[in-house]
Amino acid sequence: MKTAIYPGSFDPITLGHLNLIKRASRVFDKLIVCVMVNHEKSPLFSVEERMEQIRRVTAKFENVEVDSSDDLVANFARTKGASAIIRGLRALSDFEKECQMAVFNKKINPDIDTFFLAASEKYMYLSSSAVRELALFKADLTDYAPRELIDEINQRISEKNSVRR
Ligand code: ADP
């Protein structure tokens, strides 16, 4: 059984992430989407909220599981018996950072390989931060965020924004 881990912040999950999940879940027997805890960032949604959102929008994929970790992804992969890490490559700017991470992860866990999936043309410039920014200006998120999550993203952004003012 070939298990892959797809780690990220997913704050919030976008249609670009979802596109990668769909494609990777066709190639591997099991795909674990893992919300990585980043203590440096102050997130829009808590780890638990993000896990619940990802579960909701990936419910139709039978071989997709959702988890979270505050460990290094290479260590998390070992505990799950995974042999692959999935990452997405968008514009050139992702390349250097992603290659560096792949090298470190291989050193920590030689049994694991990082597989890069090219972003689909439609989502090449889409990121969670772009979704947060668009929501701040009340732009239509239909082409960028899962339909089920649009209201809660808009609501959370406006709550955070009113606290800041
Ligand atoms: P991180 O903080 O680890 O970069 P993200 O949630 O921003 O977490 O992204 C997780 C992974 O998904 C990264 O490999 C990123 O390159 C990839 N990714 C993000 N947005 C897209 C997209 N629109 N298309 C393809 N891959 C994407």
pLDDT number for residue 48 = 97
pLDDT number for residue 163 = 67
Tens of pLDDT, residue by residue over 65-103, are: 999 999 999 999 999 999 999 999 998 778 899 999 999
pLDDT number for residue 46 = 96
User: By residue range, what is the domain housing residue 35?
Assistant: 3-164
pLDDT number for residue 165 = 57
Q: What is the CATH number of the domain that holds 81?
A: 3.40.50.620
Catalytic residues: 17, 41, 90, 128
Q: Do residues 127 and 16 lie in contact, with contact meaning Cβ atoms separated by under 8 Å?
A: yes
CA-closest candidate to residue 49, choices 165, 164, 156, 160: 156
Overall pTM surpassing 0.85 (yes/no): yes
- Report how many domains make up the chain: 1
- How remote is the CA of residue 16 from the centroid of ligand 1, in Å? 8
Q: For tokens 């514009």, name the residue.
A: 91
pLDDT number for residue 107 = 94
Residues of the chain with pLDDT under 70: 163-165
For residue 50 and ligand 1, the question of a CB distance below 6 A is answered with no
